[in-house]
Amino acid sequence: MTKEERKALYSKQVDNKKTSGNTPHVPSTGQQPRKQSIKSDQAPTPSVAQTKNQEAKQQPSKHQDGKQQQPKLQNQKQLGQKNKVEPTESTKQNRLFSHLDKYVHPDNRINTAINDPKLHPIIVQLGLQYATGAIRGGNARTLALLIALKQVTSDYVQLDTEIMNRDFGNKIVPMIDYLKQFRPLSVGMGNALRHIKQKIFKLNPDLSANENKNKLVEDIDIFIKERITVAAEQIVNNGVARITNGDVIMTYARSEVIEKILTRAHCDGGKRFRVIIVDSRPKNEGRELLNRLLIAGVDCTYVYINAVSHVMKEVTKVMIGANSMLSNGSVYSRIGTAPVCMMANSYNVPVLVCCETYKFSEGTQLDSITRNELGDPHEMCTIERNHMKPVLMGHESNPNIHVLNLTYDVTDMQFVDMVITEVGSIPPTSVAVIVREYRQK
């Protein structure tokens, strides 16, 4: 883009802003259409609606005139239909990350879905819990989903003309789509759903609906037990065995299974070790872990990620949880994990990843850009939750600031020494083998 083109583009943007009322800056490129279903649920601002209706990839600025005219017309149409207003912070996006679903604050997700006959009330509730962060963490989210599906299954009413294995499969599709609006499904949730869908498909049409429903509920229970609860227990046992007296364990943010390992090793295992919790803004999830470990009586040090190189010298092992393991051996986990692992590697400290096999993904990812989740940019612009003092006042309307709050990052295999799973400890190169073994089953 030449300087002239940029200028032209900017003036056009300013014009757009004037014509569309008070809404601030309209991003110029790279907005992707959102899923249709969102549109009907909530009230978009002009700018949001515009971006939603735009072509997947916008052409260079030369062609923009024609392109922007069309969506604007649609905006007005939609404005006529809906008159709620959404805040504007999510309308701007870093161009590199424009392919990701934009963050929308849960308060603005007031939707009409509550009366949607296609959605079971427990699903509606679950969606809101995901959105507000009331349920978070890989295992908790997957468990909540499976428990909700159990409820949906037992409340399913089969009409005489329908066959359960096909009809029920179709019935849960809109529910999953609805949940996806609030947060993308994690790899573990995806795997669990795939498993359940297979079970639904295999239901015996000759049996009565009640028998089938019981069978399905039982299948879900088996999955929960085998792949999540017992698996976690086994990982904890394997993890505890890895901790020896005199260890200094570093962990990052908060992982449920790591918390269990550390408390178990301290309380039941009677091992003498110290924990360094590395944490980072804006989520500060490590504080929760810190609280719990302190209650258990574990000797803890709490540092921010800025200090990781300073404390790494004394660390003997780094133990982290993972959102998922990718089949190229990479770890997909809370953002900040990669720098901690890389720092550990440069100090020759072994990195142990704890991950259940149901979170193993068949996909691969080389960077943290292609797939990720955008968080609330507001979190980064306030110093403390309770003060809520904005430090980047008016950043929404400043076209030159892009606030990027990524949720996950990818740690390359070379920085990981061991993956602790319920089937034993494996090197990251063997993730693909486990994935293959389970697919064959």
Partner 1 sequence: MKKEELTNLVKDVVRDNQDMSLSFVAITVLTDVIKRSTSKTMMELDTELKLAVQDLKSCVKEEIEGTDTYRGSSITLHSGCELFTRFVTRQFLEMKEFGAIKSKLTEKGQYISKLSALSREKVTELFEPFFRDNMCVMVVGNSRVATATLIRASRSGKRFSVIIPESRPDVEGYKSARHLRDAGIPVTLIVDSAVAYHMGKVDFVLSGAEAVVESGGIINKIGTYQIAVLAHVHKKSFYVAAESFKFVRQYPLNQNDISGDDHYEHINPPPYTFIDDGQIKDGHDVSDEQERRQLGGIKVSNPTSDFTPPRYITLLFTDLGILTPSAISDELIKLYS
Which residue lies nearer to partner 1 by CB, 52 or 317? 317
Query: Does residue number 342 form part of the binding site for partner 1 (CB under 8 A)?
Result: no
Whole-angstrom distance, CA of residue 257 vs CA of residue 255: 6
- Cβ atoms of 394 and 208 within 8 Å: the answer is no
Q: Which residues are bridge partners to 424 per DSSP? A: 421
Query: Does residue number 425 form part of the binding site for partner 1 (CB under 8 A)?
Result: yes
Query: Does residue number 227 form part of the binding site for partner 1 (CB under 8 A)?
Result: no
Q: Which of 128, 418, 422, 435 lies at the binding interface for partner 1 (CB under 8 A)? A: 418
Q: Which of 59, 198, 210, 244 lies at the binding interface for partner 1 (CB under 8 A)? A: 244
Which residue lies nearer to partner 1 by CB, 170 or 346? 346
Which residue lies nearer to partner 1 by CB, 309 or 414? 414
Q: List own/partner pairs for 16-24 with CB under 8 A and 24 or more apart.
A: 16/68, 19/72, 20/46, 20/47, 20/50, 20/72, 20/75, 21/46, 23/47, 23/88, 23/91, 24/88, 24/91, 24/396, 24/397
Q: Which of 51, 284, 423, 439 lies at the binding interface for partner 1 (CB under 8 A)? A: 423
Q: Of the listed pieces 54-62, 100-108, 137-145, 418-426, which binds partner 1 according to CB under 8 A?
A: 418-426
Distance of closest approach, residue 327 Cβ to partner 1, in angstroms: 13
Q: Of the listed pieces 63-71, 199-207, 271-279, 427-435, which binds partner 1 according to CB under 8 A?
A: 427-435
Distance of closest approach, residue 317 Cβ to partner 1, in angstroms: 8
- List the 408-411 sheet strands across, edge first: 324-325, 331-334, 408-411
Whole-angstrom distance, CA of residue 287 vs CA of residue 170: 42
Query: Does residue number 317 form part of the binding site for partner 1 (CB under 8 A)?
Result: yes
Distance of closest approach, residue 151 Cβ to partner 1, in angstroms: 35
Element (H, E) at 354: strand 351-354
Q: Which of 350, 392, 399, 402 lies at the binding interface for partner 1 (CB under 8 A)? A: 350
Between vectors from CA 107 to CA 370 and to CA 125, what angle results, nearest 5°?
Answer: 85
Query: Does residue number 434 form part of the binding site for partner 1 (CB under 8 A)?
Result: yes
- Cβ atoms of 166 and 205 within 8 Å: the answer is no
Between vectors from CA 201 to CA 365 and to CA 126, what angle results, nearest 5°?
Answer: 65
Structure-block tokens of residue 431: 């993730």
List residues binding partner 1 (CB under 8 A): 244, 317, 350, 352, 417-418, 423-427, 429-430, 433-434, 437
